[in-house]
Amino acid sequence: MKRQALVLGLLVGVVSVTTAVADEPGVAFFEKRIRPVLVAHCYECHSAEAARNDELGGGLQLDTRAGVLQGGESGPVVVPGKPAESALVRALKYLDAEMPPEKPLPKAVIADFERWIELGVPDPREGEPVAVRRKGVDYDEGRKHWAYQPLDPGEPPKVQKGDWPAGEIDRYVLARMEEHGLAPAVDADRFAVVRRLCFDLTGLPPTPEQVARVEKVAPPDLPAAYESLVDELLASPQFGVHWARHWLDGVRFNPQLETSAYYRNWLVRAFNEDMRYEPFVQRQVAGDLLEAADVDEAAGNLVAAQMLAYNGREADFVESSLEVLGQQFLGLSLNCAKCHDHEFDAVSQEDYYALAGTLTSSTVPKNARDGVVIPGTETKLLGLFDDEPKKIGDTYLLLGGDRDRRGDLVPRRLPQVFFEDEPPRIGSETTSGRLELARWLGDLDQPLLARVAVNRVWQRLVGRGIVPTPNDFGTNGDPPTHPRLLDHLATRFVESGGSTKAVVRKIALSRTYRLSVRADAATVQQDLENDWLARAHTRRLSFEPVMDSLLAHAGELDLAIPEPVDQIKHWPTRKRKDKSFGGPRALFVRDQGRESSTFDGPSTELIVVERARSVTAPQMMYLLNGEMVRNLAPKIAKRVESTATSPDGRIDAAYRLLFARPAASEEVELGLAFVAEHGLDRYVHTLLLTNEFLYLH
């Protein structure tokens, strides 16, 4: 019944017309056919008694005629004489809502309600309903939400443990710890930090050479050694491969589409070149509309605009595209305003359809038409958007999101909550407005945009966002745990012109990033979720790093970035014709196999805010019995054998290769005993089954 209350309270009606109580036959019909149904199914949540108990659902009172005509918080639910325009009937038919929620009423009963409304809603019941405050979006109140406020990092706070911070980030983090009576854990050892940096920045394990360089450094020189390693990793082409995969999770990337290889490689280049945020956003939202200096730039812009192509497969291209644009760039669920004003955030239906008009004016072509030839190839990229859509212009608000129920025409404009005055109109009689939307979405003068962008970087490096709900910066999402730190990072991001690498570097060189995952029992008990970052988060490697690590350790990983035209002709796989395994990084493999679902790999249907980090038996079974693992383990063992001649040296070499650290004396002793009985191949395979292989500590 609680759900019933909510559903009826959200019904969207139209203006009702008050009529006199109908004649006696109509009243008799009401008494016989309508009142018993209302009593049985509705009064518990929609009556004066429910109001007295403070349980009136949605402000809708159905135990008086005046209450029926008044409607609820979202407006009237009946239009006397017009059942087709009455929200109550649509709810009974399970169209806009589901009333009653347990199961639909019989069709004959629904027909009685339609007949009752046709008769003018005859009803002898008297009494005045409770006053209803109509729902609507209060933009002034909405703008008070923290996410829309100007950036205000303040000065890095003073802290009691003044010798601990290595930089500004650490001062903000330590101040929050001290507010809650916590102290930071010890630093992680140098081997853990090297492994963490390599996986976080490139998605790959450290090489033995990288480990050896840091191992030789004296403790006072470690910060400089870490800085050198971070700069090396940022300059590596593998940085773009790893960070492109993060971005693709948020846009429903589908490698099965022919143009997907071009878009994927464009992203890899964009991250490697540290493309500034403004052009990075603009080219993905409206690259096909941007002016270009030459054919190379035109091709690149068109490739970038393929981002929205992945939503062309969805049943509702407009809704799917606005869902991506809202969550990926604004951290808001715009699509929640398709059927009614957003329940929690200052986003109205008018806001939704004002933006929708830019997309309905940019029709996705059904057939191949014009395109741009990629220089140096014969590959033609199809234009994502039709040059001549059926209609360029504003679109209608759809009542309840129903295509058959048109409301008013909504001018194309930007969302009202971002503007004190009238929001800017976008588009014209000949242009969609998508280009203006793209420019606005890339404008870092909007504090929300900068906050969303840097929060994603923090999430990827630390394990959880400063705002723990990266795609929901609205009132229903979690507030930032460290608001001043968030604004500090956003400010530095804006000052850098929108440099992702600058933010990555700043975070990776902080002492906060280098904390150990281990803390004393009292600290853990006081902060179970690690909100205040007194220790590092333990994180399982995601799908791609697991696959890439196995190949890398066996010396079978090809780090070259495949050309898209070659991939379209022949998509690489991990399994070769001779049944051995090897090939490019997981990002470039189209058919990922069952391993992807086993290790919570990417989705082509959903916007993935954060990969699941499940711990399941099938993961261990794959590492134990999987064909690729069984094929690669002996190759890893051969590589270990080639680097050390003594038995104890081979145990140490295995640890250095797989875990990026030397083996302890007791581990060497256990390893020697195991190898003596089962052999080096089996020993290496056993190490692949450990948590230390799968987790960052």
Q: Can you tell me the distance from the alpha carbon of 466 to that of 463, in angstroms, rounded to the nearest whole number?
A: 10
pLDDT score, position 312:
61
- Work out the pLDDT band at 365, boundaries 50, 70, 90: very low
pLDDT score, position 430:
87
Instruction: Report whether pLDDT(389) > 80.
Output: no
Instruction: Report whether pLDDT(364) > 80.
Output: no
Highest-pLDDT range among 127-136, 228-237, 423-432, 582-591: 228-237
Beta carbons within 10 angstroms of residue 677's beta carbon: 9
pLDDT tens string 457-471? 999 999 999 999 999
Instruction: Report whether pLDDT(478) > 90.
Output: yes
Could you give the dihedral angle defined by the CA atoms of residues 584, 588, 591 and 594, in that order, rounded to the nearest 10 degrees?
70
- Supply φ then ψ for residue 398, to 5 degrees: -100, 115
Could you give the dihedral angle defined by the CA atoms of residues 99, 105, 110 and 116, in that order, rounded to the nearest 10 degrees?
-80
Q: Can you tell me the distance from the alpha carbon of 516 to that of 170, in angstroms, rounded to the nearest whole number?
A: 14
SS3 content of the chain, % helix, strand, coil (to 5): 50, 5, 45
Give the DSSP per-residue string, 400-430.
Answer: GG-TTSEEEEE--B--GGG-SSPPPB---SS
Judge if the upstream peptide bond of residue 100 is cis by omega within 30 degrees of 0. yes
Q: Can you tell me the distance from the alpha carbon of 277 to that of 279, in angstroms, rounded to the nearest whole number?
A: 6
Cβ(371)–Cβ(383) below 8 Å: yes
Q: Can you tell me the distance from the alpha carbon of 553 to that of 378, in angstroms, rounded to the nearest whole number?
A: 37
Give the number of residues written for the chain: 697
CA of 184: how far to CAs of 161, 193, 460, 562, in Å? Answer: 10, 16, 21, 44
Q: Can you tell me the distance from the alpha carbon of 87 to that of 74, in angstroms, rounded to the nearest whole number?
A: 10
pLDDT score, position 363:
61
Q: Can you tell me the distance from the alpha carbon of 336 to that of 263, in angstroms, rounded to the nearest whole number?
A: 28
Q: Which of left, alpha, beta for 203 (phi over 0: left; psi -120 to 50: alpha)?
A: left
pLDDT score, position 1:
39
CA gyration radius, the chain: 30
- Work out the pLDDT band at 2, boundaries 50, 70, 90: very low
- Supply φ then ψ for residue 407, to 5 degrees: -105, -140
Percent of the chain with pLDDT over 90: 64
Q: Can you tell me the distance from the alpha carbon of 216 to that of 196, in angstroms, rounded to the nearest whole number?
A: 18
Instruction: Report whether pLDDT(161) > 90.
Output: yes
pLDDT score, position 6:
37
Of 300, 307, 313, the C-alpha closest to 249 is 307
CA of 472: how far to CAs of 246, 274, 483, in Å? Answer: 17, 26, 15
pLDDT score, position 373:
46
pLDDT tens string 202-216? 999 999 999 999 999
Of 24, 43, 165, 175, the C-alpha closest to 100 is 43
Percent of the chain with pLDDT over 70: 90
pLDDT score, position 50:
83
Q: Please list the residues that pair with 396 across neighbouring strands.
A: 409
Fill in the DSSP letter of residue 596: H
Beta carbons within 10 angstroms of residue 365's beta carbon: 16
Relative to beta strand 557-558, strand 583-584 is: parallel
Mean of the per-residue pLDDT values for the chain? 88
Highest-pLDDT range among 68-82, 236-250, 390-404, 592-606: 236-250
Cβ(634)–Cβ(681) below 8 Å: yes
- Work out the pLDDT band at 382, boundaries 50, 70, 90: very low
3-state secondary structure of 380: strand
**Burial label, 501 (beta-carbon count in 10 A; 0-12, 13-18, 19+):** buried
pLDDT score, position 340:
86
Lowest model confidence (mean pLDDT) among 111-115, 222-226, 654-658? 111-115
Residue with tokens 């812009």: 301
pLDDT score, position 11:
36
Of 248, 219, 213, the C-alpha closest to 232 is 213
Beta carbons within 10 angstroms of residue 99's beta carbon: 24
Instruction: Report whether pLDDT(348) > 90.
Output: yes
pLDDT tens string 21-57? 434 678 888 988 999 999 888 888 888 888 888 788 7
pLDDT score, position 386:
46
Residue with tokens 């033995």: 208
Six-digit token string for 138: 């209060």
pLDDT score, position 22:
39
pLDDT score, position 244:
98
Q: Can you tell me the distance from the alpha carbon of 158 to that of 274, in angstroms, rounded to the nearest whole number?
A: 33
pLDDT tens string 535-560? 999 999 999 999 999 999 999 999 99
Q: Can you tell me the distance from the alpha carbon of 315 to that of 323, in angstroms, rounded to the nearest whole number?
A: 13
Q: Which of left, alpha, beta for 649 (phi over 0: left; psi -120 to 50: alpha)?
A: alpha
3-state secondary structure of 181: coil
pLDDT score, position 313:
54
pLDDT tens string 573-623? 788 888 889 999 999 988 788 889 999 999 888 899 999 999 999 999 999
- Work out the pLDDT band at 18, boundaries 50, 70, 90: very low
Highest-pLDDT range among 114-128, 198-212, 296-310: 198-212
pLDDT tens string 622-640? 999 999 999 999 999 999 9
Cβ(8)–Cβ(57) below 8 Å: yes
Six-digit token string for 493: 């991001």
Could you give the dihedral angle defined by the CA atoms of residues 82, 86, 91 and 94, in that order, rounded to the nearest 10 degrees?
50
Six-digit token string for 434: 């998508």
- Work out the pLDDT band at 401, boundaries 50, 70, 90: confident
Beta carbons within 10 angstroms of residue 384's beta carbon: 22
Of 396, 397, 401, the C-alpha closest to 339 is 401
Q: How far is CA 182 from the centre of its chain?
A: 31
Of 358, 356, 364, 359, the C-alpha closest to 407 is 356
Q: Please list the residues that pair with 413 across neighbouring strands.
A: 425
Relative to beta strand 406-410, strand 539-540 is: unpaired
CA of 210: how far to CAs of 224, 241, 272, 547, 657, in Å? Answer: 14, 19, 20, 21, 11
Lowest model confidence (mean pLDDT) among 387-396, 586-595, 668-677? 387-396
pLDDT score, position 51:
83
Give the DSSP per-residue string, 602-659.
Answer: --SSS--SS------HHHHHHHHH-HHHHHHHHHHHHHHHHH-SSHHHHHHHHHHHHH
Q: Give the mean pLDDT of 567-575.
A: 69
Instruction: Report whether pLDDT(511) > 90.
Output: yes
Sign, CA dihedral 539-544-545-546, equals positive
Lowest model confidence (mean pLDDT) among 219-228, 310-319, 360-369, 493-502? 360-369
Q: Give the mean pLDDT of 6-16.
A: 36
Cβ(267)–Cβ(273) below 8 Å: no
